[in-house]
Structure 1
Amino acid sequence: MTHLTRRATWRWIPRILATALAALTVAAGLALPAHAHASLIGTDPAEGAVVAASPTAVTFRFNEPVTLPDRAVQVFDAAGAPVPADAAAADAVVTVSLPGGLSGTYVVAWRVISADGHPIAGSLSFSVGAPSPHRIQPVVADAPSWVAVPLAVVQVVLYLGLFIAVGLGVFGAFVLPEGSRVDRLRGVLTRVGRYGAGVAIVAAVASVGLTVADQQALDPDGLLTLRAWTGATTDQLIAVALLIAGVLTVGADASLASRSKRRLVVGVGAAAAVIAPAVTGHSRAFGPAWLVIATDILHVLPGSVWLGGLIGLAIVLAGTRGRPNLGVVTLTRFSTLAAGVLAALLVSGTVLTWRIIGSWEDLFGTSYGRLLLSKIVLVAAASGVASWNRFVLLPQVTGGATEGPTRRARGQAEAAKGRNLLRLGRLVAIEASILVVVLGLTSVLVDQSPRSSGQAVATGRTIVANAPLGTSLTALATAAPGTVGRNVLLVQIQDAGGDPVDTAYPPTVRVRSDAVDLGAVPVVSQASGTYRGVVVLPSPGSWRIQVSLRLSEFENPVTELVLDVS
């Protein structure tokens, strides 16, 4: 192969890396402070409550299990002075133990970590006896705003490195033809894949420190302390270990002479690597867990095969200009694989959207939903380019005759095929560039809250009630802001231990008072065992929330809860 062809082979790599840099810029611009995926659904006492006697504890109930970081809860009196208090988390309930003899107004500032690793913070005020006439706003450490942009950039780099490493590994093992003619190209693919693996490993390690800094509200100097690197959760450490082991395994396949062994090694490594994002992703917070986690894995794998395969295809097409037949064979093989990849992405993406997006309101009314729509548009554009390549340009390349009565005719046919391959290679680069931007959007999506609920519950007055449902379940209902007008209604089905449980069918929720029957309120799945609806309450007083739940063909327990609306 000539020196010119070698330069052509590498010429595609800077172009795609330049597009990756542009995607990093887009992601940094889109990055917002990390939004939690847990929601506060009830407190005792309620926000703004005035209680007669000093409570022994304050409880916070969330819609999913939470954990406590360092300095998770701080209690302040009306003068802004700290009050000694201890906090403990048990599944979805945080209990703050208070000293005795309290009087006046108090503020409880809290910060917890949701099941998917994202922090959520807020405050609760209540009074004992009577509100204090004079109150000083306590000084509470704000969430670290500096970490949002670097964490988003690191996530883009991580996904890009992961997709390049896995995608090029699969391309080399399952698409690239065998033979000594492609040994140099295989070496190029292996080197680029290993560069991607190295980038993914560095980004994964960096993400651990940045994530802990986000969770523990550390300042930038905190990254230089052991606290930022020893505070990772077990899930985070497992995810990093899987990713490192996976990409290193994929990169080791080039030393194997047997194609079957290479495919086995790449398959095992790719499986381990693509499991890593699902271990810490937000999809695991939505039920059923086995379905969304498995679907998340089956979404990442074809995505990496698509993007990494396009990069590999661009390298091969640029490196086989003097041998168009090799490029045609590789292109045909990849086109066959790409059809299955697109189908897998469509199915898995549809399932994830169905489980994670709770309603049309969440799809069009949240940052997550709007970014998801942008991602869908870009994927559709990339699919359009892929379809043009497959059904328009590929037949032109494979259908061109290379035989002729004279050497000149054969040369002209080969030259025409080479020109068509060059055109197709340019479109492949465009397709890969679109997918890199999609990757940037994906990295931002993981820090957005998929659903809009919980905000009113966490910041306004919340009224709470619960009642037994059947022999072993409990129904919990909350309404926020608990006043006349529009209220966010959350209904959670709990087991005997107070944990939310998945049900085969959503509950039927009806709302009525002595004077007005509002009928059934539509509810959508909010999280495991938790359902959300919106109801407009026309008058104050006692409102009865009837909850019925079909458990089987013959079992349909019904209970009624009373909420007092002001």
Structure 2
Amino acid sequence: MLRFLARLALIVVGCAALAGPCLAHAALVGSEPVEGSVVAASPDTIRLSFNEPVTPLALKLFYPDGRSVEPHGSAQNNDLIVELPATTDQGTYALSWRVASADGHPIGGTSMFSVGHASHRSAAAAPSSSPAIAVPIWLARIGVYLGWIGGIGGAFFLTVIAGRRPPQADRMVVALLGLGAIATAVSFGLQGLDELGSNLADLGSTAVWSAGLQSRYGETLGLGSVALLLAAVALRCRRRGLATGFATASLLMVAFAMTLSGHAGTAAPIWVSRPALALHAAAATLWGGSLLPLLILVATRHECAAPAALRLSAALLPTIAALVLSGATLAVLQGVTVTNLMETGYGRLLACKLALVLVMLALGALNRHVLVPRLATDGPAYGRHLRRVLAVDVCLLLAVLAVVAGWRFTPPPRSVAAMEAALRHRQMLHIHTDRGMAMIELGDRGSLDIRLSGADGRPMPAREVRVSLANPASGIEPLQRHATRVEEGRWSVDELTLPIGGAWTLRLNILVSDFDSLSLEGTLMVP
């Protein structure tokens, strides 16, 4: 028991010491030129600002006439600087971008601005990944978890807790390690497909595999591959001490590997989230990985089944305590509350996982207090009851892994909140021309706040302001509204109801005097 606690402490301390800097899930928070703005001359660069450092994956700039180029982009702290070719073309430009965030997840979008005036039509749309790769990514993630938790955890159980074991147990754990190795290798390519927005037909491309290898998740997969190898070596070692060392190193390595990417390991503060995730991963690997080997020991009526079950039962109490404590910590850091638990995809998956784990805990209590003591006192003949419960436990574990793999596609509440904040920030439109400027803000209740200024920056006097909003992509003709004057240079439109969200073309027709008028146009993002 003391040895087990010492190893568990070593895992946690090691992961905390190795933890490096990493930030939260990326979200675009601003751009320069401002999204939807109209500028007088073509800028030399476009600056995209994120809430964390990103790595550029793919960039494509669309000209007003539909031509496209692939500009060079470089990351500077939280900004992505894109160098634009020299051009005098006027109209709307669209920069299609795809980047990898610090947690390894690719995100993409399209940022638009106009030079001189807005075009009637935009040539570009935001890139999107093929839904066809979602299922292979999910299946591969389940295979990775089976290899890492079932294989590495199983090797730790057989070499450290069980000691002697039948050859069937070794063969089953080696099979899980092999499955994990295959799934890990395939995951490199699938990650590359997802980052580049490619389809399964491009899986043979060198660029796809290179992108997967260089990604943040690629680091996790690489370290996990080494952990799988160490677990296989541990099973083959004849010396108990050496096998224990390899198995412990494998468990330590896979626990640290899981902190290198993903949502949970990138929540702030890092000094809390990464050790908590390492502890959670280590505890889950110890508990989950021991179920199938113990089932084999009991099913084969091996002589070490009862002693191994007793040792595991004693070790699981602190393991489950660590699992619950670390899991609760991670849920809080991810922004999960009672309110959003069932309102978000992440929360619903968490609720499903909790329900499955609670059933496993109930079965574990039955094992600890009833079935395992009976097995030790009444002999292998009583093992059939324990065998049935362990079989159910293994099925529940598989369901848990399938649910956890679904988190790959669902951002946590904290990331959703950051994205919504970024979207609220982008509900502002700045139009700048040689004759005047307009700052338009869309309010929460459908109101438009319009601030007009002249070329000198002073409030622009105007006699009348008419607003036109259209969404040609959705077949919505222009909505016409008269703005109400609030004060010099400030106008408003109240109770403006837009049927759908997306990019709306906004035009201001400003009557400066009986003999002078000004027209300004830009794109307003509506949630």
Length, aligned pairs only: 415
Residue equivalent to 2:178: 198
Shift of the alpha carbon at 1:320?
A: 0.8
Residue equivalent to 1:413: none
Matches of 2:339 and 2:80, distance apart in 1: 30
Q: Please give the residue correspondences for 1:230-241 in structure 2 after superposition, counting only pairs within 5 Å.
A: 230-231=210-211, 232-233=213-214, 235-241=216-222
Which structure 2 residue ranges, 5 or more long, are not aligned? 1-23, 429-439, 447-485, 492-525
Shift of the alpha carbon at 1:201?
A: 1.1
Matches of 2:36 and 2:367, distance apart in 1: 63
Residue equivalent to 2:394: 432
Q: Does structure 2 retain, via aligned residues, the 8 Å contact 1:235–1:280?
A: yes
Matches of 1:316 and 1:83, distance apart in 2: 63
Letter in 1 for 2:251: A
Shift of the alpha carbon at 1:52?
A: 3.4
Residue equivalent to 2:507: none
What SS is found at the alignment partner of 2:92? Answer: strand
What SS is found at the alignment partner of 1:116? Answer: coil
Residue equivalent to 1:223: 203
Q: Does structure 2 retain, via aligned residues, the 8 Å contact 1:80–1:135?
A: no
1:168 aligns with 2:154: yes
Matches of 1:190 and 1:395, distance apart in 2: 25
Residue equivalent to 2:124: 138
1:209 to 186, 189, 205: 189
Residue equivalent to 1:483: 442
What SS is found at the alignment partner of 1:112? Answer: strand
- Seen in structure 2, the aligned counterparts of structure 1 residues 101 and 358 have a Cα distance that, compared at 3 Å, is farther
- Seen in structure 2, the aligned counterparts of structure 1 residues 313 and 44 have a Cα distance that, compared at 3 Å, is same
Shift of the alpha carbon at 1:149?
A: 1.0
- Seen in structure 2, the aligned counterparts of structure 1 residues 238 and 58 have a Cα distance that, compared at 3 Å, is closer
Shift of the alpha carbon at 1:482?
A: 4.5
1:462 aligns with 2:426: yes
1:93 aligns with 2:52: no
Matches of 1:234 and 1:84, distance apart in 2: 21
- Seen in structure 2, the aligned counterparts of structure 1 residues 73 and 172 have a Cα distance that, compared at 3 Å, is same
- Seen in structure 2, the aligned counterparts of structure 1 residues 97 and 358 have a Cα distance that, compared at 3 Å, is farther
- Seen in structure 2, the aligned counterparts of structure 1 residues 346 and 457 have a Cα distance that, compared at 3 Å, is closer
Residue equivalent to 1:346: 324
Letter in 2 for 1:196: L
Q: Does structure 2 retain, via aligned residues, the 8 Å contact 1:43–1:462?
A: no
- Seen in structure 2, the aligned counterparts of structure 1 residues 77 and 164 have a Cα distance that, compared at 3 Å, is same
- Seen in structure 2, the aligned counterparts of structure 1 residues 82 and 364 have a Cα distance that, compared at 3 Å, is same
1:116 to 103, 124, 128: 103
Residue equivalent to 1:308: 289
What SS is found at the alignment partner of 1:111? Answer: strand
Residue equivalent to 1:335: 313
Q: Does structure 1 retain, via aligned residues, the 8 Å contact 2:217–2:262?
A: no
Letter in 1 for 2:442: T
Q: Does structure 2 retain, via aligned residues, the 8 Å contact 1:52–1:128?
A: yes
1:448 to 407, 410, 414: 410
What SS is found at the alignment partner of 2:260? Answer: helix
Letter in 1 for 2:151: A
Matches of 2:72 and 2:239, distance apart in 1: 61
Letter in 2 for 1:61: S
Residue equivalent to 1:14: none
Matches of 1:190 and 1:393, distance apart in 2: 24
Which structure 1 residue ranges, 5 or more long, are not aligned? 1-35, 401-416, 465-480, 488-538, 543-565
Q: Does structure 1 retain, via aligned residues, the 8 Å contact 2:102–2:216?
A: no
Residue equivalent to 1:259: 240
TM-score using structure 1 length: 0.67
- Stretch of structure 1 that moved more, 309-318 or 162-171: 162-171
Q: Does structure 1 retain, via aligned residues, the 8 Å contact 2:59–2:96?
A: yes
Matches of 1:387 and 1:486, distance apart in 2: 53
Matches of 2:233 and 2:122, distance apart in 1: 62
- Summarize deviations over 1:333-358 as a string: whole Å, max 9, x none: 11111212211111111111121226
Matches of 1:127 and 1:158, distance apart in 2: 46
Q: Does structure 2 retain, via aligned residues, the 8 Å contact 1:50–1:126?
A: yes
Residue equivalent to 1:518: none
1:369 aligns with 2:355: no
Residue equivalent to 2:27: 39
1:66 aligns with 2:54: yes
1:127 to 114, 117, 128: 114
- Summarize deviations over 1:298-346 as a string: whole Å, max 9, x none: 111221221221111110111117x6xx433222111111212211111
Residue equivalent to 1:50: 38
2:67 to 75, 81, 86: 81
Q: Does structure 1 retain, via aligned residues, the 8 Å contact 2:356–2:400?
A: yes
Letter in 2 for 1:447: F
Letter in 1 for 2:321: A
Matches of 2:108 and 2:286, distance apart in 1: 38
Matches of 1:207 and 1:364, distance apart in 2: 30
What SS is found at the alignment partner of 2:193? Answer: helix
Letter in 2 for 1:340: P
Residue equivalent to 2:168: 188
Shift of the alpha carbon at 1:137?
A: 3.7
Percent of paired sites with the same residue: 27
What SS is found at the alignment partner of 2:388? Answer: helix
Residue equivalent to 1:318: 299
Matches of 1:430 and 1:74, distance apart in 2: 52
TM-score using structure 2 length: 0.72
Letter in 2 for 1:193: V
Q: Does structure 1 retain, via aligned residues, the 8 Å contact 2:108–2:126?
A: no
- Seen in structure 2, the aligned counterparts of structure 1 residues 454 and 256 have a Cα distance that, compared at 3 Å, is closer
Q: Does structure 2 retain, via aligned residues, the 8 Å contact 1:307–1:436?
A: no
